[in-house]
Amino acid sequence: MGNMDLISERDPKSPIAEAYRTLRTNIQFSSFDKKIQTIMVTSSGPGEGKSTTSSNLAVVMAQTGGKTIIIDCDQRKPRLHKLFNLSNEVGLSDLLAGNTGFSAAVHETKIKNLDVLPAGTRPPNPSELLSSNKMSGFVEDLRGEYDCIILDTPPIVAVTDAQLIARYVDGCILVISSGEVEREAAIKAKALLDKVQARIIGAVLNKVEVSEKGYYGYYYHYYYGNDGQKVKKKKTSSSEKSVSA
């Protein structure tokens, strides 16, 4: 697997891969009362890096030995099958519609302990599909099979899909691209998550310029709970380049 976006698999010793491992650690320690098993990753707008973030998070989760699955819930612009070089002929939508079985829709990857469920056939009503009892029940059933379930969702400001999914996951991560999104959009994205009482376990500020040469890196801020207290940050070296989404 040589996809440049999957740096956690391609170059696990890189500073960016280390930043993803920091993200993993922060998630694991974000709650002592309830295990964070289902995680939704979204962004305020397109092109901010949510699919790259969710994919690398899935890789580092699997690398700990925990059985992990990442699900492409972006029925309008699916991308996970491209990142993992998989077929998108059948996937989540076909499974929920009863047109295929789980074993036929899910893909094992070359990465040990990591499965991928692509989006599948684009349905005429993505929001209804993702808000259905069948979808929430499916995710609940996966808890018995996987240690970590990651859901890559559409940008939350663009469509309601992420809001719908946020209601039945343990935690949400909001990816924000520095310099490419207005502050108001990020504020609106958080407000939309708050509206459905989503548990925001972290925000990833992506593509931050960290040197005079114009290189970019990842700069992670994590805010656990609702009090806004900053508990961890990770800044990459100035020589890192961004992993575009």
The tens-digit pLDDT sequence of the chain (245 residues) is 446 578 888 888 888 888 889 889 888 887 667 789 999 999 988 878 899 999 999 999 999 999 999 999 999 999 999 999 999 999 999 999 999 999 999 999 999 999 999 999 999 989 999 989 999 999 999 999 999 999 999 998 888 889 989 989 999 999 987 765 567 788 888 899 989 888 988 888 776 654 433 333 343 343 333 433 333 333 433 333 333 33
Question: Residue 222 — φ and ψ, nearest 5°?
Answer: -125, 130
Q: What is the DSSP letter of 178?
A: T
Instruction: Supply the pLDDT for residue 4.
Output: 59
Instruction: Supply the pLDDT for residue 32.
Output: 66
Closest listed residue to residue 132, CA positions, set 53, 191, 75 = 75
Q: How far apart are the first and last CA of the chain?
A: 17
Instruction: Tell how strand 171-177 and strand 38-43 pair up.
Output: parallel
> Which single residue is written with the structure tokens 């974000």?
30
Instruction: Supply the pLDDT for residue 112.
Output: 95
User: 197-213 burial by CB neighbour count: b if 16+ within 10 A, else e?
Assistant: ebbbbbbbbbbbebeee
CB 198, CB 172: distance < 8 Å: yes
CB 114, CB 62: distance < 8 Å: yes
3-state DSSP call for residue 37? coil
CB 206, CB 48: distance < 8 Å: yes
Instruction: Tell how strand 230-235 and strand 216-223 pair up.
Output: antiparallel
Report CA-CA distances (Å) from 22 to 11, 25, 41, 83, 200.
Answer: 15, 5, 16, 22, 17
Helices (H), the chain: 7-10, 15-28, 50-63, 80-83, 92-96, 102-105, 126-130, 133-142, 161-166, 183-195
Residue type, 35: K
What is the rounded CA–CA span in Å between residue 34 and residue 50? Answer: 24
Which sign, positive or negative, has the C-alpha torsion 117, 165, 67, 20? positive
CB atoms within 10 A of CB 34: 10
Instruction: Supply the pLDDT for residue 157.
Output: 84
Instruction: Supply the pLDDT for residue 221.
Output: 40
> Which single residue is written with the structure tokens 């700069």?
219
Instruction: Supply the pLDDT for residue 183.
Output: 75
CB 238, CB 211: distance < 8 Å: yes
Instruction: Supply the pLDDT for residue 209.
Output: 57
